[in-house]
Amino acid sequence: MAMKVVEAGTVEHLEFSQTLKTAKVILGYCQTSWPLSCYYASMVQEMRLSIKGRRILAQILERRKLLKVLSQRDKGLVNRKTQSKGKKNGTQDTASSQTNINSLKRQTKKNQSVEGERLFELGTRMLHQSKSQKQKEEAYLIFAKAADKGNLKAMENMADALLFGDLHAQNISAAVALYEFLANEGSHKAQNALGFLSSYGIGMEHNQAKALVYYTFGSAGGSMMSQMILGYRYLSGINVLQNCEIALFHYKNVANYIADKLEKNEGVTVEKVTLAERPENLSSNSEILDWDVYQYYKFLAERGDIQIQVSLGQLHLTGRKGLEQDFYKALYYFLKAAKAGSANAMAFLGKMYLEGNPAVPQNNATAFKYFSMAANKGNAIGLHGLGLIYFHGKGVPVDYDEALKFFQKAAEKGWPNAQFQLGFMYYSGSGVWKDYKLAFKYFYLASQSGQPLAIYYLAEMYATGTGVLRSCKTAVELYKGVCELGLWAEKFLTAYFAYKDGDINSSLVQYALLAEMGYEVAQSNSAFILETKKATILKKKQMYSMALLLWHRAAVQGNAFARIKIGDYHYYGYGTKKDYKTAVTHYSIAVDKYHSAQAMFNLAYMYEHGLGISKDIHLARKLYDLASETSPDAHIPVFLALIKLEIMHLIQDVVFYNFNVRWKQMKVDINLGPYWDLFIIGAIVVLLILLIVQRPE
């Protein structure tokens, strides 16, 4: 099949020689949907058919010719077989030839499979190491070549790029077409993607039942994301009966996978920006380091600020606050700080040499040297590092007593990783008697600082009732926290930057996927984007109802702002019918549970006007005052609201002739003294006398 790529009025022909089954599906969508092959063609065209692009095209065209030759040869053999039917010798020759052809086809397919896998791995390495748009394009060209050889994982990457707009413009219809083909081929990743798209009605019919089926098949095929989504659905009772034990089963499977990654130092720590809290200035927030601030920090580091040097080293070591992970930069800053005498820098250098990375080779002796230098200064990280060396026998004989000693010293200084290691020693009985109470104590201490493996082992203890009373709910909540450290959390950064760059659709799709997995911040961010109605991938009439659903899910997970938003939606009738009583209920929850000034103000207004609740002016005043005391930002709105309340109340009192009450509230006695009523009576008497005197005779 020939596919045309048009640019400035010229037509170029691009041939793709996928396996017969793949070609029928993928290339068949070219004219309408622009899936994999069209996407590949556009990339080649956008690179202006570079030398590399031409070489790829030549290889594809050459392979197409070879396949045509094989096909013609195959047909010729079949014709000869028909003509020589009944002739023994001819039949034997044909059978032999057919066997050779089949063998050749199998070998060709095997070679393509091996080559496809090699290209996929090459593209993956290039993508992970890419630091520019051009390098990403080259990585996806490699994926396209791998996909052309039938590699399903490469096709999955291409489909993801189309869905999220990772490389070029987002094309959801093409992504759906490719996912459907991959799902038919047994791709659990595609099953998960189709479930997600069905759940939101993005590019597909909005169908929660179908989404559940897709997730179930994805989970059965081994998709960690599908398992996490099912865990969240059974935990919250979303389109299924709420069942803690089933949620526990799914979350535990994912948590086991994440914990294994964490033990290999492959965890992800991602800053989760809440869009609703800073819509007016997204570049200024504590989660993402602004580029100008980063440049200033670099300037200070070069000027010799040791604390900044260590901080920049840590950020580059782990790739936090929007900075890329760069071991070379981390090494540079740690060396500068260590040379200036920083114990923390020495300890982090020990960590880098103990684990090994592209910047430094793994070296136990060097790690021991730096850890010892830091430990001699009383540094907790250095003490913990020495404990690890003795615990695992890195360059020294395993010595649990020495490890225990160093872990205890570091734990006393509050280092959570050391607290976890002590808990693990008592949990597993490594060098000490098993003591689940002590294990629980140290795991709990470490978990308070967010140590992920400590949280995982606490979940294990609650799930099995080891050392504590079994609690399915507590175990699920802890497992859920561990699961949210998976590599998929990196989409928080890409979604944030997409939103910041104005690519609303791409940002929404990424946040929506994370929201489906149960991330509370992603749920509120998705709802926030939907209610702005800037996205175009959903129908306008769907947006408020979908936003309300997401606000509700975020509120259930403890988001106070989301709880207020639900009240607002019911008050104004966004995505639902106006219901003042329900609005009052949600505002009341936000007041009682979160002491929200905004909720206090809203509830006061409803008491003032008797909306959804009995009118109570005194309680309204009390709530207004409480809102003002709770938040400085509420001072001006509360002041204006009270002025309005008092004026309206005064007017009502005048209308109903409640002069005495109103005049006292106007503090007339301040101006006329405590006997103001005598003054008024006197004035009336004087007025009457004047009227009598002036009366005409």
pLDDT in tens, 272-297: 788 876 544 444 445 677 777 878 88
| DSSP-assigned letter for residue 323 | P
Instruction: Give me the sign of the Cα torsion angle 356, 360, 363, 368.
Output: negative
Token digits of residue 674: 């405590």
**pLDDT interval class at 6 (50, 70, 90):** very low
- Reply yes or no on whether the pLDDT at 18 is more than 70: no
Where are the alpha helices (H) located in 47-171, listed in sequence order? 51-83, 88-129, 133-148, 152-164
Least confident residue range of 32-36, 152-156, 182-186: 32-36
What band does 72 get if pLDDT is binned at 50, 70 and 90? low
Whether the CB-CB separation of 606 and 613 falls below 8 Å is answered with yes
Q: What is the pLDDT of residue 697?
A: 52
Tokens in use for 338?
A: 């260590």
Q: How high is the pLDDT of residue 601?
A: 94
Residue 212 has a pLDDT of: 95
Q: Mean per-residue pLDDT for 574-593? A: 94
Enter the pTM of the model: 0.78
Asked whether residue 189 carries a pLDDT value surpassing 50, the answer given is yes
pLDDT tens digits, residue range 412-443? 999 999 999 999 999 999 989 999 999 999 99
CA–CA separation, 99 and 106 (whole Å): 11
Among residues 457, 438, 374, the alpha carbon closest in space to that of 410 is found at: 374
Measured CA to CA, the distance from residue 410 to residue 449 in angstroms comes to: 14
The mean per-residue pLDDT over the stretch 397-419 comes to: 94
Buried b (16+ CB within 10 A) or exposed e, 131-157: eeeeebbbbbbbbbbbbbbbbbbbbbb
Distance (Å, whole) CA 433 – CA 453:
21
598 close to 591: Cβ distance less than 8 angstroms? no
Decide if pLDDT at 104 tops 70.
no
The CA-to-CA distance between both ends of the chain, in Å, stands at 118
Q: Is the pLDDT of residue 637 over 50?
A: yes
Predicted pLDDT of residue 51:
41
Q: What local confidence, expressed as pLDDT, does residue 261 receive?
A: 87
| Residue among 497, 501, 594 nearest 554 (CA) | 594
H-state helical runs in 340-487? 343-355, 364-376, 380-392, 400-412, 416-428, 436-447, 452-464, 472-483
Which residue's structure tokens are 């690179």?
47
Per-residue pLDDT, averaged over 98-116, amounts to 64
CA distance 272 to 269: 9
pLDDT at residue 9, as a whole number: 36
Q: What residues pair up with 3 in beta bridges, in sequence order?
A: 14
- pLDDT score for 105: 52
SS3 553: helix
Instruction: Tell me how far the alpha carbon of residue 431 is from its chain's centroid.
Output: 40
Poorest-confidence range of 454-468, 529-543, 563-577?
Answer: 529-543
> For tokens 């008024």, what's the residue?
680
Q: Whose structure tokens read 């830091």?
A: 374
pLDDT of residue 2: 37
- How many other β-carbons are positioned within 10 Å of the β-carbon of residue 263? 11
Which percentage of the chain shows pLDDT scores above 70?
A: 75
pLDDT above 90 (res 645): no
pLDDT number for residue 641: 82
Q: Considering only residues 93 and 459, tell me which one the structure prediction assigns the higher pLDDT.
A: 459
- Confidence category of residue 46, pLDDT binned at 50, 70, 90: very low
Residue 140 has pLDDT above 70, yes or no: yes
Asked whether the predicted pLDDT for residue 519 surpasses 50, the reply is yes
- Could you say which DSSP state residue 538 is in? S
CA distance 548 to 586: 13
Tokens of 667: 């503090």
65 against 379, higher pLDDT: 379
pLDDT of 5: 36
Provide long-range contacts, Cβ within 8 A and 24+ apart, for 116-123.
116/146, 116/147, 116/149, 116/150, 116/151, 116/154, 117/146, 117/151, 119/143, 119/145, 119/146, 119/149, 119/151, 119/154, 120/146, 120/151, 120/153, 120/154, 123/154, 123/157
The DSSP result for 50-65, as a single string, is -HHHHHHHHHHHHHHH
Q: Which range is least confidently modeled, 141-145, 242-246, 507-511?
A: 141-145
CA distance 423 to 467: 12
Under the banding of pLDDT at 50, 70 and 90, the label for residue 66 is low
pLDDT of residue 306: 87
Q: What is the mean pLDDT of the chain?
A: 81
Residue 107: its pLDDT value, please? 57
Average pLDDT over residues 116-145: 83
pLDDT of 102 over the 70 cut: no
Q: Which residues contact 374 (CB under 8 A, 6 or more apart)?
A: 343, 344, 346, 347, 350, 381, 382, 383, 385
* Residue 661 predicted with pLDDT over 90: no
- Average pLDDT on 502-530 reads 95
40-44, 259-263, 319-323: least confident range = 40-44
Average pLDDT over residues 182-210: 93
Mean pLDDT for 301-307 is: 87
Worst-scoring range by mean pLDDT, 37-51, 171-185, 397-411? Answer: 37-51
Asked whether residue 264 carries a pLDDT value surpassing 90, the answer given is no
Q: What is the C-alpha separation between 551 and 568, in angstroms, rounded?
A: 11
- So what's the pLDDT on residue 65? 54
pLDDT given for residue 664 in this prediction: 52
Rounded CA gap, 272 and 448, in Å? 19
Cα 69–Cα 75–Cα 78 angle in degrees, nearest 5: 140
Please check the confidence at residue 556 and state whether its pLDDT lies above 80: yes
pLDDT at 639 over 90: no
**Rounded to an integer, what distance in angstroms lies between the CA atom of residue 89 and that of residue 288?**
78
Structure tokens at 45: 């065209």
The predicted structure's pLDDT at residue 655: 58
